[in-house]
Copies of this chain bind each other. A is one copy, B any other.
Amino acid sequence: MKGEQYLLLPGPTPVPDRVARAMNRAMINHRGPEFQEILVSVTEGVKKVYGTESKLLIYPSSGTGAMEAAVVNFLSPGDNVLAVSIGVFGDRFAQIAEEFGAQVEKMDFPWGEAADPEKIKERLEQDKNHKIKAVLLTHNETSTGVSNDVKAIKEAAGDHPALFIVDAVSGLSVVELKMDEWGIDVVVSGSQKAFMMPPGLSFLGFNNKAMTAYENNSNCKFYWDIGVGLEYLEKGQNPFTPAISLYYGLEEALKMMFEEGLEEILQRHNNYRRMVRAAIREMGLKTLAADGCASPALTSVIAPEGIGANKIRKMMQEEFDIVLAGGQKTLDDVIFRLGHLGYVRQLDLISVLAGLETVLFKAGYHIELGSGVKKAQEFLIDMHE
């Protein structure tokens, strides 16, 4: 029998039935009062998740679109930018900034590690004339399964006036992020991760300091122009036709998130991280990221020697319809990535761990069936107490 797929990617993530049903509604006028009500309500909702009372715009685009929006609105050609990268998505942010004319200085950390706040502090302290206009930072790097300590990095930056621009596409509502409290100037996110939604909407939050940068900005922009976006938001509209069905879904997803509680959602993801890591280790496997920086959104597992990661992924899909992500670039066939963010239930993870044990056993790996599952069950008991 072929049943429903287990989608354990670091995005897109499973969509709950409530959200799917909510999207299944007739179209309405995107310039009428019903849409206005939805737009105002979801914008407020996403702002709560951001922890901000600053401005926020929603784009009909993927997360990368909002990354581009952050660059073309807040960086001008020639601006010096410090791009901190711990993987593929950090590299992408740097690449976008370069494409639009910024003078990008890359600060790379080894894949599988988090950015070191001390090194960022040192670099910014050297910049006595404040040439660096912006710091680009990844909140949660899905290519490696590592989270940056955004709070510590921001604190380490002290009173350096550079704009802090954070790509929180996969991390928001999974790893803590308090935009206003921590003084983050620009935060980018998207719908297909912890928001439990299909892909297609992206979010851009920005404070007054960022607005000042926008007012002096010399980059070309039209679709991403926040000035036009804010002007229409005042009227309860988007400048260009919004993806209406996804707004219906977002409205329902936010309801579910507030029912669960934002603190509880962070806790749940953190529990998943600990549970999956403990089970993986019990199976004798290694994780790419160290405990201190491992992401609550996904776990990168190093495949056992002699069995490639892609073979495991292939067997998981063929035997159990479980979809895992592979490694990117140099990590291809070295790791597989098990996403546990968004609408993933505890027992979904038990199923996946059981499937993984079975597949490893079949592939000739020496494992005691049930050992990892048992470890995970022990966590379930803790989590329920």
* Partner-B contacts on A (CB < 8 A): 4-5, 7, 9, 11-15, 20-21, 23-24, 26-32, 60-65, 68, 95-96, 99-101, 190, 192, 198-200, 219-223, 239-246, 323, 325
- Known contacts A220-B101, A241-B62, A241-B63: A246-B24 contact under CB 8 Å: no
Partner of A5, one of B26, B65, B96, B239: B26
- Give 10 nearest A-B pairs by CB, closest first: A200-B243, A198-B245, A64-B240, A62-B240, A199-B241, A12-B27, A62-B241, A68-B223, A96-B222, A99-B222
- Do B246 and A200 have beta carbons less than 8 Å apart? yes
CB pair B27–A198 under 8 Å, yes or no, is yes
CA distance A198 to B30 in the complex (A): 11
- Among candidates B7, B63, B101, B240, residue contacting A28 with C-beta atoms closer than 8 Å: B7
- A101–B198 Cα gap in the complex (Å)? 35
Decide: B323 and A29 in contact? CB cutoff 8 A.
Answer: yes
A26 to B242 alpha-carbon distance, docked (Å): 22
Residues in B with CB closer than 8 Å to A27 are 7, 12-15, 192, 198
- With A24-B21, A100-B220, A220-B220 as contacts: A242 and B29 at CB distance below 8 Å: no
User: What's the Cα separation between A46 and B371 when bound, in Å?
Assistant: 51
Name the residue on B nearest A33 (C-beta): B317
Residue of B nearest to A71 (CB): B222
In the complex, A4→B25 CA distance in Å?
A: 10
A272 CA to B27 CA, complexed, in Å: 21
Q: Are A244 and B24 in touch, CB under 8 angstroms? A: no
Minimum Cβ distance to chain B for residue A2 (Å): 12
Provide 20 A-B residue pairs closer than 8 Å at the C-beta atoms, listed in order of the A residue: A9-B29, A11-B241, A12-B244, A13-B27, A15-B26, A30-B199, A60-B199, A61-B223, A62-B240, A62-B242, A64-B241, A65-B240, A96-B222, A99-B221, A100-B222, A198-B246, A199-B241, A199-B242, A200-B200, A243-B243
